[in-house]
């Protein structure tokens, strides 16, 4: 068994606890920005993007695709790292305040439950390419939708290809 799954992670929240914390943030007048993704192998593109996202509100929460959700989106060989390891790596960043895992392909229910002030995606997305159901949920809760510059040359797929090549595989 991987020892990382046993390390404490106070930032990794079940949805019900995240909802309670969100209510408190609102009472305290603090803004919430959320983003979502797989964050399988963290790279400079992720770090750049997440740091920029954290500057858009008082708190940054990441909605993390569960292992099951990743398989639905990316196929049977992903994720490379399990959700506990991915959540632990994300929690190590000082500018990340919370991580919530979601099980489905889309996070519509989580958007409606958390009612973020800001929702952020990287610049490889546009309003037209956002999932229509998620976009409706964001509009319903009044979240501002922001697209941050995409740091060219960085992607998990590219990183995996480099790792395979370095190991002598293609």
Q: Is the pLDDT of residue 159 over 50?
A: yes
Q: What is the CATH number of the domain that holds 60?
A: 3.40.50.620
DSSP letter (8 states) at residue 150: P
Q: pTM score, two decimals?
A: 0.89
Number of domains in the chain: 1
Of 123 and 136, more confident = 136
Cα–Cα distance between 70 and 73 in angstroms, integer?
5
Structural domain of 74: 3-166
Cα–Cα distance between 89 and 4 in angstroms, integer?
10
Instruction: Give the distance from CA 28 to its chain's centroid.
Output: 24
């Amino acid at each position: 068994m991987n020892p990382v799954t046993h390390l404490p992670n106070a930032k990794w929240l079940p949805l019900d606890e995240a909802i309670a914390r969100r209510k408190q943030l609102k009472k305290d007048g603090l803004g919430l920005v959320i983003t979502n993704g797989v964050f399988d192998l963290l790279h400079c593109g992720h770090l750049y993007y997440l740091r920029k996202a954290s500057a858009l509100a008082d708190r940054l929460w990441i909605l993390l695709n569960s292992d099951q959700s990743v398989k639905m989106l990316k196929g049977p060989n992903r994720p490379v790292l399990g959700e506990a390891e991915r959540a632990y790596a994300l929690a190590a960043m000082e500018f990340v305040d919370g991580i919530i895992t979601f099980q489905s392909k889309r996070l519509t229910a989580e958007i409606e439950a958390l009612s973020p002030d800001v929702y952020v995606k990287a610049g490889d997305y546009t309003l037209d390419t956002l999932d229509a159901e998620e976009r409706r949920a964001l509009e319903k809760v009044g979240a501002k939708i922001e697209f941050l510059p995409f740091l060219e040359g960085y992607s998990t797929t590219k990183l995996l290809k480099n790792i395979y090549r370095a190991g002598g595989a293609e």
